[in-house]
Chains A and B, each alone.
Chain A
Amino acid sequence: MKHGTLHPTSIFIREAVSVFEELGFDVFEGPEVETEWYNFDALNVPADHPSRDVQDTFWLKDGRALRPHTSNCQVRYGETHEPPFRVIVPGRCFRNESTDARHETTFYQLEGLYVDRDVKVGHLMWTLSTFLEKLYGKEIKYRFRPHHYPFVEPGFDVDIMFGGKWMEILGSGMVHPSVLENMNIDSEKFTGFAFGLGIDRLVMLKYGITDIRQLYSNDLRFIKQF
């Protein structure tokens, strides 16, 4: 009769993971404390480039950092697996900023990576639209919009229509050749796509939660509703 409850973020991640498992994606989880190499350099984000400023990073006293995205696992997974491979990485990430109802130091992402011969932009589009339609039904409206991320080329943002407005939910693109090289994969032979989905806002939308901090409040009045 009495049941405990799963955290709403866990519920959402499980739904997302199970959709990608059906598509044959492996599930990998990497470290939250990460070296500068996997967080930035290996992803074609050099220290002398302004793209490094985009993330407000928590640096540790030992020179490592809390990962600002799950993309740290792209090269971690890629360098230990022979292509072709497809993998998703759900996990906790960190942003060094002041918190309010819309901003949190702690958030979850779901990273995706697919490397094979002849991977094309169309594969990326098919995979993400299949995911969105499984999650939200065929009637979901979405659009791909060009966007720049240093670790992909070309890059895209994906927006979904929610409450009459476009809402950005993920960044994606074709894996940059220098990122493939950092996985010791020949970028002349292989191509790939990658994406990073922001989880927390989608959890909030799903249940109508208006304050992001609730997700980490551990107020049982909140927790026991799920």
Chain B
Amino acid sequence: MKISKNWLKDYIEINEDDDKLVDHLNATGTEVDEMISSVVFDDKVVVAEILKIDRHPNADRLQIATVTDGSDEFIVVCGAPNIAVGQKVPFAKIGAKLPDFEIKKAEIRGVESFGMLCAADELGLGTDHSGIIILEKECELGQPYSHYIKGDTVFDLEITTNRGDCLNHIGMAREIAVFEELPEIQLPTISLSETSEEAKDLITVTVEDSMACPQYTARVVKNIKIGPSPEWLRERLVACGVRSINNVVDITNYIMLDLGQPLHAFDLKKVAKGKIEVRFARTDETILTLDGALCKLTPEVLVIADIEKPIAIAGIMGGAESEIDEKTVDIVIEAAEFDRKVVRRGKKIINISSEASYRFERGIDSEKVEYALNKAAKMMSDLCSGEIAKGIVSAGNQITRSTIKIEYDKIATILGLDISAPEMDSILTRLGFSIDKGVATIPSWRHDILLWQDLIEEVGRIHGYDKIKPLPLVKIDKPEVTVFAAKEYLKDLLVECGFSEVKNYSFMSEKDTALSGLDCSELLEVANPLQPENKYMRPTLLPLMLKNVAQNSTFDPILIFEIGQVFTSDSEKTNLTIIASGKNAKSEIDTAVKTLTEKVPALRLDIESLETDRLNKYKIRKPAVYFIDLDLSAVCEKIKVPADISISSRTEKNITYRPVSKYPSVTRDLAFIVDKDLPSEDLVNEIYGISPEINRVELFDEFASDKFGENKKNVAYHIYLQYMDRTMSDADADAIVKSIIEMVEEKHHGQLRK
């Protein structure tokens, strides 16, 4: 939700600077995602008037405008469709620096252009690129455009689902007034000049179900002139990320962003007999919505209908057939309150959501419906020269406010704050509650306050959570050994045997299940996967781990394990799967079995091997793959984790992470004869220092022997070379390897073993 600081100033005087205000918003529960301060323009962007428009000789979509800044004339090539002779526009002269580029003399399709007429986005005023900004007639030629722009700051706020009342400027102004301790906001009174014609003679309103629509109000405005909105209105909408359409639509959007009341405007002539009925849709009724889709309705969907058919989906979207268009003369403005659950249900059934439904679902201010209607009517009269018919046509009533007994002591205790009842009353009163003898009447705009516990937050966040003192928990013993610890113990044992832990997704695609020959009817199936990879839940860990083996073909051996949840349609279990593949696979997995069963006698481990045709299916090019597949569910509780094993013991290793390229890497093995007392780890670090393209250096062999000479040893490393942005070539790899060899020879008098 975007909130404009200039707009807030209609209601409150803000003295804090923007950064402080952001801190205070965050501290009181309104998260600020982003703060956008308006840009300062170069003075070379000036007001100019369009004198003449010619067609571009070589391009249909381009025009050649002649403009003046009051003293000189300029020829400008322009692609925007909305310019006309006599308009005043912001004109960026050659040399003007705009947010994204600098204006230079240019030749566009054979015509020289001396500057640019600017659209909003080019000036950094939002994202609107629909046309050149058209300025008010009063703007003075040649003056910097910045003189006509009010500096603004826009706050992009994350409003949580409970605070529908903050989805508008009056709501945020109220919130800020409370924590900045500003005077209470008074809504300006609206005085309307009405014609003598009675609205009730033009329309009637009936509501079928007052639970679904507690109140419905409408006014008729006649003889309106549809046209563009004035600059100030367009600026405010654009600041909030809303596109300007025409004055009538803009006013309804403006009121929603201003007061939080979604409005709808109907073309009076398209409401059959002027009879408005709020009712549930009939079976098989349909409506063509504003976005052009034919929408099937059901009897759970509340609609606004005339005597013939639905003309809007209540609180969600208008219908195309009663839409305002350029021929519209008389309109009906609707301001209503629809039940939150009814709107939510309707939205789900027809699968349409809108800014209006978003607000109705969260609840609107029941007591400001009429005010919003009147303000809209006033704007329609001021900005569209409309004539307001006399009176409001309405049905239903405002919802009565509910009350809560304030549990002063309990609130103070849970907060751990020394805060008195009068202080709490004062905070709640500023928030709009009215307090009488310890009972709070809830403001009409707050639908999230139901229990006394809900008041804890109100008191706490305004009083200041930073005043709460931390309270230590009573010390108690560590828990007894848990299943979690047992699993981590198994992981440690496997890591000691040289195995690495992998974590695969819990999902399998259709392709994965086919590859591993699984019967899909026994699998747990996802009903709404966004991606085909997420269709089934894995019934065992093995298939995805075999893909890991195939994917890591440059490694030999591959020793991996995973502990994770596996699923069938009626069970969820914890499995352990271990795989050994490649060089010495059998002896590696034998060692693991020996270690595991020695330390954990409860384990029953069977080594299985994969047949060649399955290896081929997975494109595994290693001669042998052995695996162990084990259901841990029953075993974990029997595992005795030794007391001297701490589950954090293996985590203190100092790791410098090196990013992994998505492009293939090259592996080289290098063996050197070096001094026996040269630590092999030091050499690893020095090799890393040779080139940033070295992704990994892995020691795989180290032994001393007299055959290498006195006090000499053999060290051997796997070295992985990669580029982050392309495939590593053999030639480049050779060059890096050469540098490594030179370093070892020169610095450590080492000798490469061929």
Q: A24-B479, A120-B414 are in contact. Are A4 and B500 (CB under 8 A)?
A: yes
A22 touches B478 (CB 8 A): yes
Cβ contact of A58, chosen from B448, B454, B534, cutoff 8 A = B534
A218 touches B504 (CB 8 A): yes
B471 touches A153 (CB 8 A): no
B residues within 8 A CB of A226? 653, 655
A residues within 8 A CB of B660? 214, 217, 219, 221-222
A26 at the interface (CB under 8 A from B): yes
Nearest-CB residue, chain B, relative to A119: B414
Q: How large is the interface on A (under 10, 10 to 19, 20 to 34, 35 or more residues)?
A: 35 or more
B461 touches A154 (CB 8 A): yes
A residues within 8 A CB of B416? 120-122
A218 touches B548 (CB 8 A): yes
A121 touches B460 (CB 8 A): yes
B residues within 8 A CB of A32? 506, 565, 567, 572
B414 touches A191 (CB 8 A): yes
A218 touches B551 (CB 8 A): yes
Per-position binary interface string of chain B over residues 467-500, scored 1 when its CB falls under 8 Å from any chain A CB and 0 otherwise? 0111111011111001111001001001111111
- Closest CB-CB distance, A153 to chain B, in whole Å? 5
- Closest CB-CB distance, B156 to chain A, in whole Å? 15
A residues within 8 A CB of B163? 148
> CA of A118 to CA of B499 in the docked complex: distance in angstroms?
47
B657 at the interface (CB under 8 A from A): yes
B651 touches A126 (CB 8 A): no
Nearest-CB residue, chain B, relative to A144: B465
B residues within 8 A CB of A217? 660
Cβ contact of B468, chosen from A6, A92, A122, cutoff 8 A = A122
> CA of A94 to CA of B529 in the docked complex: distance in angstroms?
11
Nearest-CB residue, chain A, relative to B574: A29
> CA of A216 to CA of B454 in the docked complex: distance in angstroms?
40
B residues within 8 A CB of A123? 470-473
Question: Which of B344, B470, B497 counts the most chain A CB atoms within 10 A?
Answer: B470
B537 touches A174 (CB 8 A): no
Per-position binary interface string of chain A over residues 107-134, scored 1 when its CB falls under 8 Å from any chain B CB and 0 otherwise? 0000000100010111101110110000
Which residues of chain A in 3-36 are interfacial with respect to chain B, using CB atoms and an 8 Å cutoff? 3-7, 9-11, 14-15, 17-18, 21-29, 31-33
Determine, out of B26-34, B74-82, B384-392, B511-519, the stretch whose residues face the partner at the interface. Answer: B26-34
B495 touches A3 (CB 8 A): yes
Determine, out of B438-446, B691-699, B736-744, the stretch whose residues face the partner at the interface. Answer: B691-699
> CA of A90 to CA of B653 in the docked complex: distance in angstroms?
22
> CA of A176 to CA of B507 in the docked complex: distance in angstroms?
33
A98 touches B530 (CB 8 A): yes
Nearest-CB residue, chain B, relative to A122: B471
Q: A54-B161, A121-B465, A223-B500 are in contact. Are A86 and B453 (CB under 8 A)?
A: no
B621 at the interface (CB under 8 A from A): no
B496 touches A3 (CB 8 A): yes
B residues within 8 A CB of A50? 161, 344, 358, 361-362
A68 at the interface (CB under 8 A from B): no
> CA of A150 to CA of B457 in the docked complex: distance in angstroms?
13
Nearest-CB residue, chain A, relative to B650: A6
Per-position binary interface string of chain A over residues 202-226, scored 1 when its CB falls under 8 Å from any chain B CB and 0 otherwise? 0000011110001111111111111
A106 touches B505 (CB 8 A): yes
Q: A10-B488, A118-B413, A126-B472 are in contact. Are A92 and B565 (CB under 8 A)?
A: yes
B658 touches A225 (CB 8 A): yes
B residues within 8 A CB of A145? 26-27, 29, 31
A220 touches B413 (CB 8 A): no
A147 at the interface (CB under 8 A from B): yes
A219 touches B702 (CB 8 A): no
> CA of A114 to CA of B474 in the docked complex: distance in angstroms?
12
A218 touches B451 (CB 8 A): no
A residues within 8 A CB of B567? 32-33
A27 touches B526 (CB 8 A): no
A18 touches B473 (CB 8 A): no
Nearest-CB residue, chain B, relative to A219: B660
Determine, out of B267-275, B394-402, B552-560, the stretch whose residues face the partner at the interface. Answer: B552-560
- Closest CB-CB distance, A46 to chain B, in whole Å? 9
- Closest CB-CB distance, A20 to chain B, in whole Å? 9
Q: A98-B531, A126-B472, A129-B470 are in contact. Are A219 and B551 (CB under 8 A)?
A: yes
A14 touches B648 (CB 8 A): yes
Nearest-CB residue, chain A, relative to B497: A4
Interface, chain B (partner A; CB < 8 A): 26-29, 31, 160-163, 340-341, 344-345, 358, 361-362, 413-416, 448, 451, 453-454, 456-457, 460-461, 465-466, 468-473, 475-479, 482-485, 488, 491, 494-507, 524-531, 534, 537, 548, 551-552, 555, 558-560, 564-565, 567, 569, 572, 646-648, 650-651, 653, 655, 657-660, 665, 695-696, 698-700, 702, 720, 722
What 8 pairs between A and B have smallest CB-CB spacing? A154-B457, A146-B29, A122-B471, A126-B470, A148-B160, A24-B476, A207-B657, A18-B648
5 example contacts (A-B, Cβ-Cβ < 8 A) are as follows A15-B648, A17-B647, A121-B416, A122-B416, A148-B448
With A11-B650, A51-B161, A224-B696 given, name 15 new contacts (CB 8 A): A2-B700, A48-B340, A58-B528, A59-B526, A60-B537, A122-B471, A125-B470, A125-B471, A145-B26, A148-B161, A153-B451, A156-B465, A174-B456, A219-B551, A219-B552
